[in-house]
């Protein structure tokens, strides 16, 4: 596939379109800001291949996310065909989540991010939290409790 | 720390002005008890729903559907977990007391979890009609909810239940393209689940409903029910299925579907813990609880700090 000769406005428009796709369970947070997008390649005749990586390999939302990405791209007039590929590498890590997504998750959804550099902080009051359960409602989330304001929160993690 | 109110009038004035109640507030006992019962019922229903999903993991056809059932199971159990923590924080019952009450048949869970799930068609109908009723109900609680910890958790739960509803719509699309036998199976499931799902909204709201007064519900049951009928009748008709309601009417002027008279007896029976599958579900859940006692014993025996 030759990507170097493609007019890069198509790549820019494709990136903008993929960015409009939110995680199906985290409304307001784009899959691009969650770090799921790895590659976009395009041919001159408008065939796009989108390389995505899952947060967890067994994630049940993959088919839905793939369908949403296709739907977002197929409306672009210059796009002939869209292929979505789920890549085996690199492995998704929490560092891939952008600051923008972290802010939205904290303020809109009381959802924290687990980091290696220190304790997880409560999205409401900023105090350290304590893990209460390794698994919450999905494989990429644990359940914590804030030691200060007692909020029950979910914490997104990568392992 | 928390705020206090000198009287119910003062507290209600605070609520009327849009005030949010937090866990450390000295809220009136009646409000505390009402919020607790509401969240406990929700938590119990998530747990009973999760157990049904779990039953279907080995029976679900195809890997893709199986992954979604696995995920739904984890979602429901996870929601139950979060809700039990928030309910326990109100200081009325511990989480263990709530679970023991549930499995002893002493506390309630929603009517739709009192029915047997016999076929994959039932699972499709539940994912569409029951989740399709749960989402607007939860949104109506979330919209203006006065209890902060519940409102914040509901926002995430609604996002996840909305995803389930989308899975339901995909499943319907698929089963409706199936063989005659598969379509007949799904028609039977619509016949069996239409009314239980519709009754999930409950009877018409009373004008003096304290859930509305205390901002634990921002929409009337009959309005949500009418919206549900209006959404699912045309959808199922478009796939060539029929609705098991001989009293269903259509106003061509406004293109509005209205359901016929509703028999509330089955709802009363499930609320009295006497539904078609209540005894079996409770017995199975309580057996599972007893056979996992050793896990709780081990956790209790572990030195502090070993297990968070």
Q: Supply the CATH number for residue B47's domain.
A: 1.20.1260.10
CB contact under 8 A, B82 and A27: no
Contact yes or no for A145/A155 (Cβ under 8 A): no
Residue A3 has pLDDT above 70, yes or no: no
Lowest mean pLDDT: which of A57-61, B70-74, B133-137, B172-176? A57-61
Residue numbers in A near B135 (CB within 8 A): none
Mean pLDDT of A100-108: 93
CATH of the domain at A56: 3.30.300.130
Contact yes or no for B161/B50 (Cβ under 8 A): no
The per-residue pLDDT for A2 is 40
Residue numbers in B near A57 (CB within 8 A): none
> Domain check: are A75 and A14 in the same one?
yes
Residue B307 has pLDDT above 60, yes or no: no
In a domain, A92, yes or no: no
Lowest mean pLDDT: which of A138-142, B97-101, B178-182? A138-142
Instruction: Please give the residue range of the domain that contains residue B231.
Output: 8-301
Q: From residue B81, how far is each of A26, A157, B76, B85, B234 by CA, in Å?
A: 19, 18, 9, 6, 36
In a domain, A73, yes or no: yes
The residue among A86, A102, A129 that closes a domain is A86
The per-residue pLDDT for A154 is 93
Residue numbers in A near B67 (CB within 8 A): 58, 60
A15-32 tens-digit pLDDT: 999 999 999 888 899 999
Q: Which of B78, B91, B138, B148 to mutate to test the interface with A (most CBs of A within 10 A)?
A: B78
* Bridging pattern class, strands A111-113 and A152-156: parallel
pLDDT band at residue A6 under the 50/70/90 scheme:
low
The per-residue pLDDT for A42 is 92
CB contact under 8 A, A152 and B85: yes
* Nearest-CB residue to A143 (from B82, B157, B159): B82
The per-residue pLDDT for A7 is 61
B288 vs A: CB within 8 A: no
Of all residues in chain A, the one with the smallest CA distance to B47 is A137
Distance between CA A115 and CA A100 in Å, rounded?
16
Cβ atoms < 10 Å from Cβ of B127: 24
**Which residue, among B177, B108, B183, B166, has the nearest Cα to B132 in the 3D structure?**
B166
In a domain, A97, yes or no: no
**Which residue, among B94, B107, B116, has the nearest Cα to B45 in the 3D structure?**
B107
* Residue % of chain A over a pLDDT of 70: 96
The residue among A54, A86, A118 that closes a domain is A86
In a domain, B263, yes or no: yes
A32-85 tens-digit pLDDT: 999 999 999 999 889 999 999 999 887 888 989 999 999 999 999 999 999 999
Separation of CA B203 from chain center: 16
> Domain check: are A42 and A81 in the same one?
yes
Query: Is residue B78 classed as helix, strand or coil in its secondary structure?
Result: helix
CB contact under 8 A, B78 and A138: yes
The per-residue pLDDT for B234 is 97
How far is A6 from chain B, CA to nearest CA, in Å?
35
In a domain, B268, yes or no: yes
B12-47 tens-digit pLDDT: 999 999 999 999 999 999 999 999 999 999 999 999
B70 vs A: CB within 8 A: yes
Contact yes or no for B249/B71 (Cβ under 8 A): no
B74-92 tens-digit pLDDT: 999 999 999 999 999 999 9
Mean pLDDT of chain B: 94
**Which residue, among B284, B15, B276, has the nearest Cα to B145 in the 3D structure?**
B15
The per-residue pLDDT for A1 is 41
The per-residue pLDDT for B305 is 60
Query: Taking each helix axis from N to C terminus, what angle separates B131-143 and B180-199, rounded to the nearest 10 degrees?
Result: 30
pLDDT band at residue B1 under the 50/70/90 scheme:
low
In a domain, B57, yes or no: yes
Instruction: Please give the residue range of the domain that contains residue A152.
Output: 110-156
Residue A159 has pLDDT above 80, yes or no: no
- The phi, psi pair for B77, rounded to 5°, reads -65, -40
> Domain check: are A123 and A77 in the same one?
no
The per-residue pLDDT for B308 is 46
Mean pLDDT of B93-113: 95
Domains in chain B, number: 1
B198-251 tens-digit pLDDT: 999 999 999 888 999 999 999 999 999 999 999 999 999 999 999 999 999 999
Residue B150 has pLDDT above 90, yes or no: yes
CB contact under 8 A, B78 and A25: no
Which contiguous run of DSSP H or E holds residue B152? helix B148-176
B89 vs A: CB within 8 A: yes
Q: Which of B1, B73, B87, B163 to mutate to test the interface with A (most CBs of A within 10 A)?
A: B163
In a domain, A94, yes or no: no
Sign, CA dihedral B217-B223-B225-B227, equals negative
Distance between CA A29 and CA B248 in Å, rounded?
41
Name residues whose C-beta falls within 8 Å of residue B136's C-beta, 6 or more positions apart in sequence: B219, B224, B227, B228
Distance between CA B50 and CA B52 in Å, rounded?
5
- pTM of the predicted model over 0.95: no
Domains in chain A, number: 2
Query: Taking each helix axis from N to C terminus, what angle separates B148-176 and B29-56, rounded to the nearest 10 degrees?
Result: 30
> Domain check: are A67 and A116 in the same one?
no
A22 vs B: CB within 8 A: no
Distance between CA B44 and CA B95 in Å, rounded?
11
**Which residue, among B5, B39, B6, B30, has the nearest Cα to B148 in the 3D structure?**
B39
In a domain, A27, yes or no: yes
In a domain, B307, yes or no: no
Which tokens is A71 given?
């739907």
Mean pLDDT of B243-266: 97
Residue numbers in A near B71 (CB within 8 A): 59-61, 138
pLDDT band at residue B164 under the 50/70/90 scheme:
confident
* Nearest-5° Cα angle at A36, A85 to A71: 60
* Alpha helix positions (H), B180-258: 180-199, 210-213, 221-238
In a domain, A2, yes or no: no
In a domain, A146, yes or no: yes
A63 vs B: CB within 8 A: yes
A143 vs B: CB within 8 A: yes
* Nearest-CB residue to A152 (from B68, B82, B155): B82
């Amino acid at each position: 596939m030759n990507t170097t000769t493609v007019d890069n406005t198509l790549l820019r428009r494709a990136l903008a379109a993929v960015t409009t796709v939110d995680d199906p369970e985290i409304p307001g947070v784009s899959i691009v800001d969650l770090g799921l997008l790895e590659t976009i390649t395009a041919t001159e005749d408008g065939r796009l291949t989108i390389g995505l990586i899952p947060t967890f390999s067994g994630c049940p939302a993959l088919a839905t996310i793939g369908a949403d990405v296709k739907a977002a791209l197929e409306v672009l007039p210059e796009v002939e065909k869209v292929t979505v590929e789920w890549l085996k590498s690199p492995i998704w890590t929490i560092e891939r989540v952008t600051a923008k997504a972290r802010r939205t998750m904290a303020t809109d959804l009381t959802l924290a991010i687990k980091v290696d550099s220190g304790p997880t902080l409560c999205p409401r009051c900023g105090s350290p939290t304590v893990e209460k359960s390794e698994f919450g409602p999905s494989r990429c989330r644990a359940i914590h409790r804030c030691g200060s304001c007692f909020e029950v929160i979910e914490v997104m993690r990568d392992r | 720390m928390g705020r206090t109110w000198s009287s119910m009038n003062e507290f209600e004035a605070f609520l009327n002005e849009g005030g949010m109640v937090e866990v450390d507030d000295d809220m009136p006992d009646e409000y505390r008890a009402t919020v607790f019962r509401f969240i406990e019922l929700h938590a119990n229903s998530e747990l009973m729903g999760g157990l049904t999903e779990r039953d279907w993991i080995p029976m679900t056809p195809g890997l893709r559907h199986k992954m979604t059932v696995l995920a739904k199971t984890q979602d429901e159990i996870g929601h139950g977990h979060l809700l039990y923590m928030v309910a326990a924080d109100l200081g009325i019952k511990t989480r263990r007391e709530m679970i023991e009450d549930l499995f002893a048949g002493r506390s309630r869970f929603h009517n739709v979890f009192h029915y047997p799930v016999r076929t994959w068609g039932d699972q499709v109908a539940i994912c569409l009609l029951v989740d399709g009723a749960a989402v607007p109900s939860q949104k109506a609680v979330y919209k203006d909810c006065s209890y902060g910890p519940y409102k914040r958790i509901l926002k995430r739960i609604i996002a996840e239940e909305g995803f389930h509803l989308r899975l339901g719509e995909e499943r319907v699309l698929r089963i409706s393209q199936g063989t005659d036998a598969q379509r007949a199976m799904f028609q039977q499931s619509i016949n069996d689940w239409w009314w239980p799902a519709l009754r999930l909204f409950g009877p018409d709201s009373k004008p003096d409903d304290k859930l509305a007064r205390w901002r634990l519900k921002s929409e009337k049951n009959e309005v949500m029910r009418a919206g549900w009928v209006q959404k699912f009748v045309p959808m199922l008709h478009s796939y060539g299925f029929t609705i098991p309601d001989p009293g269903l009417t259509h106003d061509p002027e406004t293109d509005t579907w209205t359901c016929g008279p509703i028999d509330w007896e089955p709802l009363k029976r499930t609320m009295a813990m006497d539904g078609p599958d209540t005894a079996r579900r409770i017995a199975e859940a309580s057996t599972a609880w007893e056979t996992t006692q050793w896990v709780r014993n081990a956790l209790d025996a572990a030195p502090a700090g070993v297990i968070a």
